[in-house]
Structure formats: structure tokens, C-alpha cells
């Protein structure tokens, strides 16, 4: 392609309202342009990259037996009786699937109409379509645009084990695709759905807080991350229990200073409601309570903070002074692992402006039969997966999901399959998805420098960018036609701009190789890889052969 004929050119100035590196570079490089409603138009360069991203994902899914289908367009199905039933069912079980509702409706309709036997299974159905994103951040660009190109795979298996194996194969296919695109990702548990794994990538944006082990690479959303509990020194002898008057002290920092004890000896007691029951979650004061971990402890059911009037009724105190001692028997107390080995600890006294001190298990309250991990881990704590690493604070953006749906559609639609004994069983389903728009941006996030984008060969818009300078236009024309004839995708900058402008644009666009023809190169050509500091003069024949073989 001739650059002079390219729709969409580079931009010199740094774009406004572009918070991510990928958004800035894709705008400046002429890959995308803002569209109405906060969306983005893929220009020819961006479309070429997107087509290669799609092709790689499709190839890997095809390797594990995926069949391509076309999903229905529009959102008209989102308000159907079926979709309302799906939403109601999800609320009942306390889970949200990270897939567009029209995809779920398409899958449910398909599952309800299939008459499958075990011989037909496993069956994989895959496709792409533009979908709406619930949490959009237009200033982040394609990483979180209001609309995204979404690749979905639905797997049907002859039983739960077969369906899980099918899901594992899909996950491996996605990972191979990401490796081909040279995108580093983390596999993490979903915050909202216990049976969903998420594929996430690191970002410098204010995205999902994540903790990552510095040694083994273990990564998890901060609310779900596990860490080893620090070993704090404890007093060997129990102290005298007392209720201390400390008006207005509900923050653990000022409270610990007032009492003259370390923060980890204070106790946060928070009351939650789940399925009509009130629970009290107790963690050492330096931690926060992880609602995500609590939800999993109670089967994934939604929970919410107890209303102030409920707290007052159960504790006879204002919010902030609840404690585990003296709560009504109907309140279930859940103790975190961080509280297990403490002595002489503090907790709320269930009396406004008062705090109980020198509490000990076995004397002032019964020792729990079991302690649970319900705290939000802190950066710097030791990893539970290895001995050497410590957790570091990062931020992540989710690129994809791998989820088991189970027999949800079988219950709603009677979708079943026949086993070898001709017995019918509910048809289990799994759902997987990859945000291709965010994936394209993630490539740029991980592959750029101060001059521009550095596209991996697998997804680069062109294999090379040919730059012709004055007195070499005819030779460049000949080379351009020769490369095209050899099947090499090449972008020829045939403009009458200066060498500096052309070189700057070539670095910004980021194709793997820059070819320069000028009076100084004579009958040779300058070959410079995008990542190299200096170019080299090579014979034209050698340049053509290198690109043809690549």
C-alpha cells in the first residue's frame, strides 16, 4: 500500500483525553479515530492488525475443534422472556457471567433445539461480534471502549468432567494465541463468579487492584489474593479485660495509638446480611474484610453490609463499635486467619464509644473451631504458593473469561443429551470469551518505546515500511512492485516529506522492518529492524528474500 493513498495519517501532537499509552499511540499512529458515543473507528492500519488478531484466535480455536457460527446482531433479544429468565436465575444464584446477554440468548436458543447424543460431544461453537461493554472508559481507548469486538466460544460436553476438559482446551487455545501475539497475561479467579477464570494483563491505569508474587508469578485480584499471615509477637500472659471509653475512635490507626497497642492487635468486626442471615466478620485491624471471599464462603450468594438500624438492634451501639463478645446467638461469627494466634487483643464492646481490651480465646469468648481467609491481603506479605516471593501491588485489565455455566440452560430449556445407555442427562455448557479490541491495545501497551509502537511480527499491519528519499523514487517503485509480487505486505511511504518526518512516522507506526532507498544507499538498501539502533546496507535481492521467507 502507498502511504499517500492511506486513509488516516499520523498525528504529531499528543492527543488530549487519552490516558493510556496504547490509546495515545494508536491515535497518533493513525490506527483509530474517535467516533460518536465514545466509540472508535478502526482505520485501515488498525483494521489490518485486528484482522490478524482475529485470524490467530480463530486458528487456535479451530485446532481444538471449534466450529464458527455467526451470532445475531443488535440488542433486541436482551429484553426477551428468555433473557429475563436468565437474569433472574443469575440473581438467584448470585452470579454474573461476563458475557453479553445476546450471546447467552443465542446459546440458550441453540442448546434448547439440539438433540445431541454422547457421540456428538464435545461440541465447540465459536464466533465474533461487536458487543457493548458495561464499564466503559473511553479515555483508555480500546482497552475499555464502550463497544468491543468480542470472540466467544461455547462448549457442550457429555457430563461435567467432559465439559471441564473442553473448557481447559479452550483456555489452552487462547493462551497459545496470546503467546503468538507476544502478550503476557495472568490467569486469575473472577471476583463476581466462583466458577469463572479471567485472563488479565497488567496496566498502569487505575484499573483492578491486583497482587502479584515477585518470585513465582502468582496473580490474583487484591480482594481474592492469598498471603501468609505475619507472625506477630504476643504477650504470654493474659491481661485484665476491660471496656475502655474511647469516644469517636472507630478508625484503627487513632484507636491503636489511644490504647497503646499495635494496629494488628485491634479487631475489625463488620456485620453483613446474606440470605436473611446476619454474619459478623472479624479480621485483624490492619486488614480490610474481603466481601468476595465471604461470598465464596457462603456459596456465592450476594451479601451486603447490615443496615445501621440492624447493627444497632443487634449490638445496642452505633456503627463502628460492634464486637464479637455478646452478640445474639443468631449472628454467626466468622474469624479470619489473622486473628488465630493473638492474645490480649481489642474488639468493639457493643457499646457506643467503648472498646474491649485484653480479650483472649478460651477465656472471654470461645475459641472458633475453624478460622477462614476472609481478609484483603496486603502488598509485601509472603506468597502462599512459594517460599521466596512477596506480593506486589499491580493493576490489571481483563481481556477474557473462561466460565462453567453448568446446567443453567438445561433447567430453563430442557437441553439434554443421550448417553451410551440411551439415558437423558442435562446438557452442561461452558462459555469463554476474549475481548479482541482490548487485546489489540494490550499488544501496544506491552510493545512500545519512546518513538512509537513496536508490533510483533505476527500482528504487524505490514511486514516492512519502505521509505524512499529524493532521487530514489524510481528504484523504490520497482522494489515496491517486486515485493508485492513476492507476496510481501509492504507500506511504501511515497510522500514528498523530509527524511526526518518519514523516519519518525515509520517508528511511530511500528512495522517490524524499515527499508530506506536514497542516493546514499546507491544500488543497495538500508535494512533497519524496528528494535535496532542502527541499520545495515544489504543487497536488494537479500532484502526481498528475507522478507519473503518471514
For residue 287, give the CATH number of its domain: 3.90.960.10
| One domain, residues 302 and 430 | no
- With 60 as the cut, is the pLDDT of residue 83 above it? no
Model confidence at 89, in pLDDT bands (50, 70, 90)? low
Is the distance from CB of 281 to CB of 336 less than 8 angstroms?
yes
| One domain, residues 145 and 277 | no
pLDDT value of position 549: 85
Would you report the helix, strand and coil content of the chain in percent, each value rounded to 5?
30, 30, 40
Mean pLDDT over 127-138 rounds to 81
Mean pLDDT over 115-143 rounds to 86
Give pLDDT tens digits for 197-206.
999 999 988 8
Helix segments in 193-338, DSSP class H: 252-259, 291-297, 308-315
CA 124-160-164 angle, to 5 degrees, is 55
- With 70 as the cut, is the pLDDT of residue 7 above it? yes
Cα 437 to chain centroid distance, Å, stands at 13
Residue 18 lies in a domain: no
Model confidence at 405, in pLDDT bands (50, 70, 90)? confident
Model confidence at 137, in pLDDT bands (50, 70, 90)? confident
Is the distance from CB of 102 to CB of 80 less than 8 angstroms?
no
Give pLDDT tens digits for 54-64.
999 999 999 99
Q: Which domain range does residue 38 map to?
A: 27-223+393-444
Mean pLDDT over 421-425 rounds to 91
| One domain, residues 438 and 486 | no
The one-character DSSP state at 122 is: S
Residue 16 lies in a domain: no
| One domain, residues 111 and 202 | yes
Nearest to 518 by CA among 460, 473, 459, 461: 473
- Give CA–CA dist 99/452, Å, rounded: 33
pLDDT value of position 404: 87
User: Cα dist. 383→218, 303, 365, 379 in Å?
Assistant: 8, 28, 31, 10
Domain count along the chain: 3
- Give CA–CA dist 464/529, Å, rounded: 9
Model confidence at 98, in pLDDT bands (50, 70, 90)? very low
C-alpha dihedral (198, 204, 208, 211), degrees to nearest 10 = 80
| Domain end call among 337, 359, 381 | 359
Nearest to 432 by CA among 22, 135, 23, 107: 107
| One domain, residues 468 and 534 | yes
- With 60 as the cut, is the pLDDT of residue 91 above it? no
Main-chain dihedrals φ then ψ at residue 292, nearest 5 degrees? -65, -40
| One domain, residues 35 and 181 | yes
Residue 540 lies in a domain: yes
For residue 143, give the CATH number of its domain: 3.30.930.10
User: Cα dist. 117→67, 394, 402, 418, 421 in Å?
Assistant: 18, 46, 24, 4, 10
Amino acid at each position: 500500500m502507498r502511504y499517500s493513498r492511506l486513509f488516516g495519517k499520523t498525528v504529531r501532537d499528543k492527543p488530549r483525553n487519552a490516558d493510556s499509552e496504547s490509546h495515545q499511540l494508536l491515535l497518533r499512529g493513525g490506527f483509530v479515530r474517535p467516533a460518536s458515543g465514545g466509540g472508535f473507528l478502526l482505520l485501515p492500519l488498525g483494521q489490518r492488525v485486528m484482522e490478524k488478531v482475529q485470524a490467530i484466535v480463530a486458528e487456535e480455536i479451530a485446532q481444538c475443534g471449534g466450529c464458527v457460527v455467526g451470532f445475531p446482531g443488535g440488542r433486541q433479544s436482551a429484553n426477551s422472556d428468555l433473557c429475563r429468565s436468565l437474569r433472574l436465575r443469575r440473581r438467584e444464584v448470585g452470579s454474573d457471567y461476563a458475557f453479553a446477554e445476546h450471546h447467552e440468548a443465542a446459546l440458550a436458543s441453540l442448546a434448547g433445539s439440539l438433540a445431541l447424543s454422547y457421540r456428538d460431544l464435545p461440541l465447540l461453537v465459536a464466533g465474533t461480534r461487536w458487543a457493548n461493554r458495561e464499564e466503559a472508559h473511553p479515555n483508555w481507548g480500546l482497552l475499555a471502549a464502550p463497544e468491543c469486538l468480542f470472540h466467544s466460544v461455547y462448549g457442550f460436553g457429555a457430563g461435567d468432567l467432559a465439559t471441564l476438559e473442553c473448557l481447559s482446551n479452550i483456555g489452552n487455545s487462547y493462551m497459545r494465541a496470546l503467546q503468538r501475539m507476544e502478550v503476557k497475561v495472568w490467569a486469575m479467579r473472577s471476583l463476581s463468579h466462583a466458577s469463572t477464570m479471567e485472563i488479565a494483563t497488567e496496566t498502569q491505569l487505575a484499573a483492578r487492584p491486583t497482587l502479584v508474587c515477585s518470585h513465582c508469578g502468582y496473580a490474583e485480584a487484591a480482594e481474592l489474593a492469598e498471603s501468609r499471615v505475619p507472625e506477630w509477637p504476643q504477650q504470654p500472659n493474659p491481661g485484665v479485660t476491660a471496656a475502655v471509653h474511647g469516644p469517636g475512635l472507630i478508625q484503627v490507626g487513632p484507636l491503636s495509638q489511644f490504647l497503646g497497642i499495635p494496629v494488628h492487635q485491634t479487631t475489625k468486626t463488620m456485620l453483613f446480611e446474606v440470605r436473611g442471615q446476619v454474619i459478623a466478620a472479624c479480621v485483624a485491624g490492619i486488614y480490610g474484610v474481603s466481601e468476595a471471599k465471604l461470598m465464596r464462603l457462603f456459596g456465592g450468594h450476594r451479601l451486603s453490609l447490615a443496615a445501621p438500624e440492624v447493627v444497632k438492634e443487634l449490638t445496642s451501639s452505633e456503627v463502628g463499635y460492634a464486637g464479637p463478645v455478646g452478640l445474639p446467638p443468631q449472628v454467626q461469627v466468622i474469624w479470619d486467619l489473622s486473628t488465630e494466634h493473638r492474645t490480649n487483643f481489642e474488639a468493639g464492646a457493643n457499646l457506643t464509644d467503648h472498646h474491649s481490651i485484653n480479650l483472649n480465646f478460651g477465656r472471654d469468648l470461645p475459641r472458633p473451631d475453624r478460622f477462614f481467609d476472609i481478609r484483603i491481603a496486603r502488598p509485601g506479605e509472603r506468597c502462599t504458593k512459594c517460599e521466596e516471593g512477596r506480593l506486589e501491588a499491580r493493576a490489571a485489565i481483563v481481556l477474557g473469561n473462561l466460565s462453567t455455566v453448568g446446567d443453567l440452560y438445561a433447567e430453563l430449556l430442557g437441553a439434554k443429551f443421550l448417553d451410551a445407555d440411551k439415558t437423558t442427562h442435562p446438557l452442561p455448557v461452558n462459555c469463554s470469551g476474549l475481548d479482541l479490541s482490548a487485546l489489540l491495545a494490550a499488544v501496544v501497551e506491552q510493545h512500545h518505546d519512546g518513538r512509537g509502537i513496536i508490533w510483533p511480527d505476527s500482528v504487524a499491519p505490514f511486514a516492512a515500511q519502505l521509505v524512499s528519499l529524493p532521487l530514489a523514487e524510481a528504484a523504490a517503485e520497482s522494489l515496491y512492485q517486486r515485493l508485492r509480487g513476492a507476496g510481501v505486505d509492504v507500506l511504501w511511504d511515497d510522500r514528498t516529506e523530509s527524511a526526518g518526518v518519514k523516519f519518525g512516522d515509520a517508528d511511530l507506526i511500528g512495522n517490524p522492518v524499515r527499508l530506506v532507498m536514497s542516493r546514499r544507499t546507491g544500488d543497495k538498501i538500508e535494512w533497519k529492524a524496528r528494535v535496532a539502533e542502527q541499520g545495515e546496507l544489504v543487497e536488494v535481492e537479500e532484502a526481498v528474500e528475507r522478507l519473503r521467507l518471514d
